[in-house]
Each structure stands twice: as structure tokens, then as C-alpha cells.
Structure 1
Amino acid sequence: MEAPLVVSRRHAGLGYADETPYDRDSFGQLWVRPAVRPHHRRGRPQPHTVYPYRQRQAMADMLCQVCKRQPPSPDGPYLFLMQDRGGPVMEGEITASPPVCVPCAVISVQLCPEIRGRYVCAWVDQAPAWGVAGLVYDADTLRPVSEKLVRAEYDGPLAPWTVAQRQVVQLFGVRPTELETEVAAFGLDRLEEEFKRVAAMVGAGR
């Protein structure tokens, strides 16, 4: 059951009738409340869906979106893998797709239908928070304007009326690369070991 939305008395725009401090991020943005089930009731992984808390954590800490591995250095660079929309990853581009490690990038381009055969990747030095992607609600009816997620910049006009489902970051220090180049640098033997680690993690339901 979805939490009831109201016009907030403490914040501009939307709020929850029973709002807690955990419902907003550090920028004051309201977030969706996804269902949290006990471990024994979680069932099988659903790679075609994005769990908001996991995506938000991956963006905040620059974790691999597949295996949650930390980057080699907390200060970057970070590898971003994105759908090819007709060109390389650009300086200043925004994305709701968290970074990946090299082994998980290889797995993703083989298994993910969104990027299979049409992807680009780049090393990125910095990826600060830009805003969110979520459902925008009408200020009068408090009903969704559409069923599609809309990107809303922090402090922008849409943000107060958006319930966030994804964190969006902006990419700086972008250096496009080829995945084959990164695989060669990573090493095939090491890559095989990483495949085993990821497979074991998925099998354990982590």
C-alpha cells in the first residue's frame, strides 16, 4: 500500500502524512517508500527492475550497481556503462545508471537487453549529485502527471512535486574507453575469478 501524499507544511511541495526524516535525502528531496520484505520472502532477483534504496546507495558511494563492490579508490575514477544513444559519453552528461566494475560490465553487456550490442563506456573522475528521477505529481490533485519517470534537478521547479525513485548524477572528467581495452588491462585470469565471485554472490541472493 502506497504512503498517502499531502502538501507538506514543513517543505515546499509534497510530503507524506506520516513523514519521517528517512523519507528525504540530504538535499531535502522526498523519496518513494519501496516495500521491504523479510529475507525469506524476497524470492528471486529481478534484474529488469531497479530497487530505489540500492540504486541510491550505489550512487552515493559509487558502488558497482551489480555486485556492490567499492571502487579501487574512493576518489575515482569510476567506470560508467551506458546505453549507446548515438555517441560517446559526454562531459557534463547526466545519468541515473550507477558505475560498474569491469567484470560486471562484461556480464551486463551479455545479459542486459537494454545495452546488449549497443553500449558505450567511460572513466569518470567525478559524479556529483544533480537531481533525481521520479514521478511528478499535480499540485492540485496530488495525482501523477504521467506514469513515466521524469528527471528533476535539485532546486528546480519540478523537484518539490517529484517523488524520487532514482538518484541522478552529472559526469565530469569523462574519458571514453572501449570495454575490450579494459578487459585486456584487467587480465583474463583475474576476470574468470571475478566471474566466479559474482556468480556465488548472486546464488547466495545478496
Structure 2
Amino acid sequence: MNRIVAPYITMWSAEQDVPCRVIERPGRGIGYVNEILTDRDARGVLWRQTTGRQGLGRPEFGKVHPLRQRQAMDRLLCQVCGGPADETQEGVLFLLRDFRDDWPRWPEGMGSTEPPVCLRCVALSLRLCPALRRGAVAIRVREFPIAGVRGTLYRHGLLSPVTDRAVNMPYDDPAVRWVLASALIRELRNCAIVPFEEIALTPVG
């Protein structure tokens, strides 16, 4: 395996948003002026379009590439290396910030934009990710339906649609037609926390 410089879903400085003008489509929400088929997902939601130049320039660790995040969540790929995520009879492996104080049985029922991971990349993530160093939990998830998108909600404007706010929007909400999506959400169900001692933390170099 090649040395991982940045997670698979991370944006690089050479990658930029494609300039697409958002317009209102009466009765159908928002769209692009020169829209093509691949601008929307299989459920008809419009997506932010970003060039794909992974590995060029420098990694921008605070930013996530919309298409690679969507691919990783849709295909259950490791968010770090882009290979298949670890899956056993106990479920798919996710590595999350520890928010167990947020509500009882966390993260049961949570909508997550964090793709899963493979065993090989757990140790690397714990070592290099500042957020995870503040507290992380490994979780096996048995049910993980695609639930919706995270993105920018638009509303009707005088001349053209205007941005409203950032939202997490379920696919079954009619307002999702007004969202410009940037991340795919899976709902985590039937979750079990896995002690790190039970995971073979294979270093990646």
C-alpha cells in the first residue's frame, strides 16, 4: 500500500468548486443553468460540483471532497485509504468522535456523514486526526440505511434562489429539492461500541 498523505475524502488545494449558476425550477426546487445528468444523484438531489484533482497541491484537512465522500458512504469505502471498509458479522466498522454524553444509547439512530474505516487505517486515524485525539470510539453498525444529505438549503428569491442555511435533510422531505448537497448521510442503527483492545491496530506507513 502506498503511504497515505491525506484521507481519501480530503480536499486538495488544486480542487475547486465548479462555477455553476443555481436557478429555480418551478415546482421542482433548484437546478443548474446548464445541468447534466451527473449533477444529481439517483434520488434526484442536486450536488455541489467540484473538480477531481486528488493528490495535486496540498491537502486541506478541514475540507471534504463532495464526490469522494459520497462514493465512500455509498459504497462503504474506508474514508482514509479508499479501500473496502471492514465488515464482519458484527457489522461495518465506523470510527467516530466520542459523544456518548449527548444522549442515552448514542450513536443509535444518529445521522452520520463520516464514512466507515478499515482495520488497517484505525491506528493512523487515531494518531493523526486532531479531532479523534480528543476522544474517539470504534463502533460496529449492523444497519446503516442511506437517509439523506447535508448541504445548503436555498429558498425562493426575487431574481434567483438565495441561500438560507446549512441543513441535514432526509430524502423523504420534499424540501430536499431545494438543497445543494455536499455530503451523503447514513443513519446508524443496531450499534455496538467495540473496545480498541479488540481491534488489531495495524500501523500504516
Q: What TM-score do you get using the length of structure 2 for normalisation?
A: 0.80
Match of 1:158 in 2: 175
Contact map agreement 2:140 2:194 (CA 8 A) in 1: yes
Specify the SS of the correspondent of 2:74.
helix
Tell me how far apart the structure 1 counterparts of residues 98 and 85 of structure 2 sit (CA, whole Å). 23
Match of 1:172 in 2: 189
Query: How far did 1:125 drift?
Result: 1.5
Structure with greater helix share of residues: 1
Structure 2 residue 164 is matched with structure 1 residue 145: yes
Match of 1:81 in 2: 95
Specify the SS of the correspondent of 1:53.
helix
Name segments (4+ residues, structure 1) moved above 3 Å.
Answer: 71-76, 86-89
Match of 1:45 in 2: 59
Query: How far did 1:12 drift?
Result: 1.8
Match of 2:109 in 1: 92
Match of 2:76 in 1: 62
Structure with greater strand share of residues: 2
Percent identity over the alignment is 32
Query: How far did 1:106 drift?
Result: 1.7
Change beyond 3 A, Cα 1:180–1:167: same
Query: How far did 1:109 drift?
Result: 1.9
Tell me how far apart the structure 2 counterparts of residues 110 and 126 of structure 1 sit (CA, whole Å). 28
Tell me how far apart the structure 2 counterparts of residues 73 and 107 of structure 1 sit (CA, whole Å). 18
Change beyond 3 A, Cα 1:76–1:35: farther
Tell me, which stretches of 5 or more residues in structure 1 are unaligned?
197-206
2:33 to 17, 36, 42: 17
Tell me how far apart the structure 1 counterparts of residues 95 and 198 of structure 2 sit (CA, whole Å). 14
Query: How far did 1:172 drift?
Result: 2.0
Tell me, which stretches of 5 or more residues in structure 2 are unaligned?
1-17
Specify the SS of the correspondent of 1:71.
coil
Query: How far did 1:126 drift?
Result: 2.4
Structure 2 residue 25 is matched with structure 1 residue 8: yes
Structure 2 residue 117 is matched with structure 1 residue 103: no
Query: How far did 1:26 drift?
Result: 0.9
Contact map agreement 2:86 2:119 (CA 8 A) in 1: no
Q: CA RMSD in A?
A: 2.3
